[in-house]
């Protein structure tokens, strides 16, 4: 063998030996642990408590936090949905907090029930930024939906909706900015002392509103612009009913209707023009105790138990139920 070939063989052999030694010297700890050995992330609780005597109604979700209003005094409780732990972040004015939603600039828009008011509250600090009285007659400002330009509220004791503008520059609305939309067309207001309009959301195309009348189990499509604004038309439910309909949640063409005293959620599929809907399934849970409203976080729905059939006392327990529902 020639000298050059011998030198090449020595170099290759030495290089291979060094590489092998380095591999053997690699600490075992550097090897990644099998996935099965890693601790599993804790699941969010299936239910978590609210303060005793709280009497919840509405829910709003922003990020991993849920916000809940008290019918007793208007307090707002914020809970971490991942852990179930929370605290009161806004002291109420002594009047109810019913439906609530988070709008731009981390502001909560809160329906004031029989006080006939709307409050705008900072979700970060809990400070009440604005309180507006919408109606001085018999009123029950019940629920709210946020659109790009306004917060729309239902009034269960009057055939009308309220439009509270959301100014792009962050200015808070004044009472003079609020507009009242009379409901007409197919809408029939129940007798005095009986609730009519309850939950509210937007149509599939976002050009109008969908409102539930839980007393007679009907659903309405309501235009908000043009000559037909306020002309409510029945949504054809194809034989289904949404009696006791309360909070609404729309995700695309899927509409969740909470039927409070029935202890279930009706899941409907809306037509693209929102003129018709068919019920595709129902959701329920043995933990339901008259749930009222619904919101989503990740792969689950969250519903506060209002417990309308339980005599309320300062020590009555209340909670929020999680129902898994992957999209």
Domain positions in the chain: 47-324
Query: How big is the CA angle at 101 (ends 106 and 223), to the nearest 5 degrees?
Result: 120
Specify the pLDDT at position 24: 40
Mean pLDDT throughout 243-268?
Answer: 98
Q: Give the CA distances from residue 47 to residues 43, 142, 293, 302, 304, in Å, rounded to whole numbers and listed in that order.
A: 11, 25, 15, 9, 9
Q: What is the pLDDT of residue 241?
A: 94
Q: What is the pLDDT of residues 158-191, one digit of tens each?
A: 999 999 999 999 999 999 999 999 999 999 999 9
Digit-coded pLDDT (tens) for 286-324: 999 999 999 999 999 999 999 999 999 999 999 999 999
User: pLDDT tier at 326 (50, 70, 90 boundaries)?
Assistant: confident
- Spatial distance between the Cα atoms of 108 and 144, rounded to a whole number of angstroms: 10
Q: What is the pLDDT of residue 312?
A: 98
Q: Is the pLDDT of residue 128 over 70?
A: yes
Q: What's the Cα-to-Cα distance from 102 to each of 123, 145, 159, 306, rounded to whole Å?
A: 8, 9, 25, 20
- Reported as a pLDDT band with limits 50, 70 and 90, residue 15 is very low
- What letters, b where the CB count within 10 A reaches 16 and e where it falls short, cover 189-220? bbeeeebbbbbbbbbbeeebbbbbbbbebbbb
User: Residue 35 — very low, low, confident or very high, per pLDDT cuts 50/70/90?
Assistant: low
pLDDT over 90, % of the chain? 85
Cα separation, 218 vs 44, in Å, equals 34
Note the pLDDT of residue 1. 46
Fold adopted by 47-324: Methylamine Dehydrogenase; Chain H (2.130.10)
| pLDDT score recorded for residue 34 | 54
Structure tokens at 205: 């195309």
The rounded mean pLDDT for the chain is 91
The kind and range of the H/E element at 11 are helix 3-25
Structure tokens at 56: 């919840």
């Amino acid at each position: 063998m020639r000298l050059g070939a011998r030198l090449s063989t020595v170099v290759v052999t030495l290089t291979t030996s060094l590489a092998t030694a380095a591999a053997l010297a690699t600490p075992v700890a550097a090897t990644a642990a099998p996935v099965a050995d890693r601790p599993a992330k804790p699941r969010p609780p299936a239910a978590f408590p609210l303060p005793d005597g709280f009497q919840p109604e509405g829910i709003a979700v922003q990020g991993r936090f849920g916000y809940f209003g008290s019918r007793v005094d208007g307090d707002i409780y914020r809970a971490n949905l991942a852990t179930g732990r929370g605290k009161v972040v806004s002291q109420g004015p002594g009047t109810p907090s019913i439906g609530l939603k988070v709008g731009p600039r981390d502001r909560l828009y809160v329906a004031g029930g029989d006080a006939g008011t709307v409050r705008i509250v900072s979700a970060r600090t809990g400070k009440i930024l604005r309180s507006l009285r919408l109606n001085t007659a018999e009123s029950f400002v019940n629920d709210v939906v946020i659109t790009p330009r306004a917060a729309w509220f239902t009034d269960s004791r009057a055939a009308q909706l309220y439009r509270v503008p959301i100014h792009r520059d962050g200015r808070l609305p004044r009472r003079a900015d609020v507009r009242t939309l009379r409901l007409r067309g197919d809408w029939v207001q129940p007798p005095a002392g009986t609730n009519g309009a309850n939950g509210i959301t937007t149509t599939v195309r976002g050009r109008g509103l969908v409102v539930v009348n839980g007393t007679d189990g009907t659903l309405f499509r309501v235009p908000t612009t043009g000559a037909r604004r306020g002309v409510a038309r029945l949504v054809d439910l194809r034989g289904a009913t949404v009696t006791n309909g309360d909070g609404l949640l729309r995700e695309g063409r899927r509409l969740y209707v909470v039927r409070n005293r029935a202890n279930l959620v009706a899941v409907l599929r809306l037509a693209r023009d929102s003129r018709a809907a068919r019920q595709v399934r129902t959701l329920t849970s043995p933990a339901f105790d008259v749930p009222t409203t619904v919101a989503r976080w990740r792969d689950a729905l969250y519903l506060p138990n209002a417990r309308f059939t339980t005599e309320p006392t300062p020590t009555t327990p209340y909670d929020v139920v999680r129902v898994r529902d992957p999209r």
